[in-house]
Each structure stands twice: as C-alpha cells, then as structure tokens.
Amino acid sequence: MDQPDVLAWRDGHIEALDQTALPHQVRTLRISTVDQLVRAITSLAIRGAPVLGAAGALGVALAVRQGHAEGWDRPRLDAEIKRIADARPTAVNLSREVAAVSARIGPDAVSIDAVSIDAGAVEAAALAVLDATAAVSHEISERGAAYLTATCGGGPLRIHTHCNTGSLACLGWGTALGVIRALHEGGALRHVIVDETRPLLQGARLTCWELGQLGIEHQLVCDGAAPFLISRGLADAVVVGADRIAANCDVANKIGTYGLALAARQAGIPFVVAAPESTIDQATPSGAAIPLEQRAEEEITVPTAPVGTRALNVAFDVTPAELVSAVVTEARVIPGGR
Ligand code: MRU
C-alpha cells in the first residue's frame, strides 16, 4: 500500500500524517494556519524530534503566508512564530529549525508586506530543512548498524527499543528504528523488542506499525517489563533516539528511557543513542538544564483511575552520559561515559 507523506508542503499548506489516528486510520491533516499547526504539534499528530524540527521550519513559511493574507505587523508575525517554537519544549530541533528559518526573514523587515519579506526565500529554506532531515537519517542508520555489528559481533542481533523513532518521527529511515532497519537489510537482525511507551503508546501504535510494514519481526512488551527482560538476556543492545542531547552527552528522551539504560548497564549490553547532530544542544551544559515537558494529567488518569486522581505526567527523562555507550549521529560516533 502506498503511504501518504509523513510531512509535506503543498500549495502553501502543510500536509501531515495524523499520528494520533495510527495505526487504525491513515489520514492526512491539511494545515493552513499557525493555530492548526500548534494544535497538531501539541496533540502529537506531528511528533518526534526531527519531524518537529521540519514542521517548525515549514511553520515559519506558513506564518509568513498567513501574515501576508491577514495583514499582520512584524510583532504579530514574531509572536506567532514564537508560539510554534514553544509548542513543545524538550526536542531542541523544534526551536532550532524555527530560529534557522526565521533568520531568512531578516531582522530589518519591519513590516510583513511582500516587499520587505521574501516569502519565496523563507519557503526554500524551510524545504531545505525538510530534505536534510530525511537525508541525514540514512547516514545515522548505516553508521549505527556498523557500530552495533562491530560492538556486538555479526549478529543476528536482538534489539530493544523505546517510543517511535522511525520515518514517522524523522522522515527517511529514522534514527534508532533506522539503525534497526539497516541491520535488517544487512541480515544482521534477529528481532526487535518494542516497549509500548506509555501513556500515549508510540511504541505499540507507531513502531509496531512501521516494523510490520517493513516485515521486521518484533514483540511488544509493557514498559514495566523491559528492565527485567533485559536482565534475563533477551536483548543484545538497547537502541533509542533522543529529543535533546546536552553538551556533556546527557540524553533527554521519552519517559522510560532511563530505566532501560540502567538495565543495560546492569546486564552489560550497549546502550546506544541514535540522533542527528541537530539534536545536540551545546548551549545546554547538562541534562539538569534540559526543559522536560509535563503533559496533561488526563493522559494518564482517563479512563482508568478514579475520578479526581492526580497524576504527574512528565513526558521525558534524562539518561546521564555515564550510562550511554555511544551517541551515533550522521557525522560521527561520540563515545558516552560507559
Ligand atoms: O513525545 P514524542 O512522541 O514526540 O517523543 C518522541 C521521542 O521521544 C523520540 O524517541 C525522540 O523524539 C527521538 S525521534 C528520532
């Protein structure tokens, strides 16, 4: 079956696969306003650090178009662009790509008429981010597969992963899931163990969907089972993505990642982070300074807990660099602290 694009720019609009509907419905959102984009990002219809970066880039082009059509002044345009950048705080790719494309607007453009802002140049810059996002994922995938084969032996390997890091999150092949795909293509993969990734189930809904389409053998496990299964020798390596990597190599990723890293250390298997260079944030010295998104309590409590139950729904955790074997990017393998 032909899949629609995960993210695209068509006739001055953003089109995005609605990831809240997967795997049961494959439907595309047509996004024409900043409001619609911010809603798509906060609801996780558009999600995953690299795709958030690309969506932010397109969002700047969308805001310029909407501003022209509605006669916004420059402060309004800047405020709308800031809403996009701030829609989710942890994945640095979002604010980074919004800032990169916004730079094409130019600081001197005080009004937002077609003369003072070159909408074509802004659009071209946004599309370049979209293309680059897909391209780097292939390089990460190949480098990560080569690293794992060299570290763990020729395989076939059993890989434990968390959340969703495939083309839905990254375009192209993905980061951690791209590494898994490259191992599979090279005949070096036995199977994948996928955490369901509570509370929004990106592993169960999205990773199992992508692996099924690729014909890659996999088993779904409860998040709570993961450290124990690793301790029983059911995985040769843990491979995950990242939302922000601090300058000291502390890694923020979907909540539940830290427990996998502890289990991998205890079991003596590699804990590998696959991510683009754009996820490394040199301006953030360590994990303590990474903003961790806290989401609505209802995502955990409804419909299972008694009405009125309070919840702490922190969406990401931080794995200290000392538990990371390596960070694999499109450019290099950065040794972690292990
Ligand atoms: O809340 P999400 O679904 O956007 O979280 C996604 C993750 O945590 C991914 O692991 C991360 O963005 C890396 S994707 C390459």
pLDDT of residue 107: 73
Buried b (16+ CB within 10 A) or exposed e, 202-211: bbbbbbbbbb
pLDDT at 153: 83
Can you tell me which atom of ligand 1 is nearest the CA of 169? 14
Contacts of 170 (CB under 8 A, 6+ apart): 48, 49, 50, 51, 133, 134, 137, 178, 241, 276
- Of 20, 97, 197, 254, the one to substitute when testing ligand 1's pocket (max ligand atoms within 8 A of C-beta) is 254
Q: Count Cα atoms within 13 angstroms, Cβ side, for 140.
A: 38
Q: Rounded CA gap, 53 and 172, in Å? A: 14
By DSSP bridging, strand 189-195 and strand 218-221 are parallel
Q: Would you name the residues annotated as active-site residues?
A: 243
Ligand 1 binding pocket includes 242 (Cβ within 6 Å): yes
DSSP 92-148: HHHHHHHHHHHTTT-TT--S-STTTS-HHHHHHHHHHHHHHHHHHHHHHHHHHHHHH
Ligand 1 atom nearest to CA at 162: 10
Torsion of CA 47, 49, 55, 57, to 10 degrees: 170
Residue 153 CA to ligand 1 center (angstroms) comes to 28
On whether the CB atoms of residues 61 and 55 are closer than 8 A, the answer is no
User: Is 243 near ligand 1, meaning CB less than 6 Å away?
Assistant: yes
| Ligand 1: centre distance to CA 255 (Å) | 10
Residue 88 CA to ligand 1 centre (angstroms): 11
- Per the CB < 8 A criterion, the answer to whether 72 and 80 are in contact is yes
Is residue 56 helix, strand or coil?
helix
| Shortest-distance Cα residue to atom 15 of ligand 1 | 165
Q: How far apart are CA 22 and CA 183, in angstroms?
A: 25
Provide the strand spans (E) within the chain: 7-10, 13-17, 28-31, 157-161, 189-195, 218-221, 237-240, 244-246, 251-254, 271-274, 280-281, 316-319, 326-328, 333-335
Distance CA 193, CA 200 (A): 18
- Integer angstrom CA distances of residue 147 from 83, 183, 216, 329: 39, 10, 20, 11
312 Cα: distance to centroid of ligand 1 (angstroms): 19
Q: Check: CB of residue 301 under 8 Å from CB of residue 309.
A: yes
Does ligand 1 lie within 6 Å of residue 170's CB atom?
A: yes
Q: Is the CB of 241 under 6 A from ligand 1?
A: yes
Predicted confidence at residue 110, as pLDDT, reads 61
For the whole model, what pTM was predicted? 0.96
**Token reading at 139:** 């390089």
Render pLDDT for 120-138 as a digit per residue (tens, 0 to 9). Answer: 999 999 999 999 999 999 9
Ligand 1 atom closest to the CA of 254, numbered from 1: 8
Q: Is 253 in the pocket of ligand 1 (CB under 6 A)?
A: yes
Question: How many other CB atoms sit within 10 Å of the CB of residue 83?
Answer: 16
C-beta of 44 in contact with ligand 1 (< 6 A): yes
Strand-pair partners of 332: none
> What is the distance in A from the centroid of ligand 1 to the CA of 253?
7
CA-based end-to-end distance of the chain: 43
pLDDT beneath 70, residues of the chain = 1-2, 108-115
For residue 199, whether the previous peptide bond is cis, meaning omega lies within 30 degrees of 0, is yes
Q: Is the CB of 169 under 6 A from ligand 1?
A: yes
Number of H helices, E strands in the chain: 12, 14
Q: Is the CB of 315 under 6 A from ligand 1?
A: yes
Q: Which atom of ligand 1 is nearest to the CA of 315?
A: 1
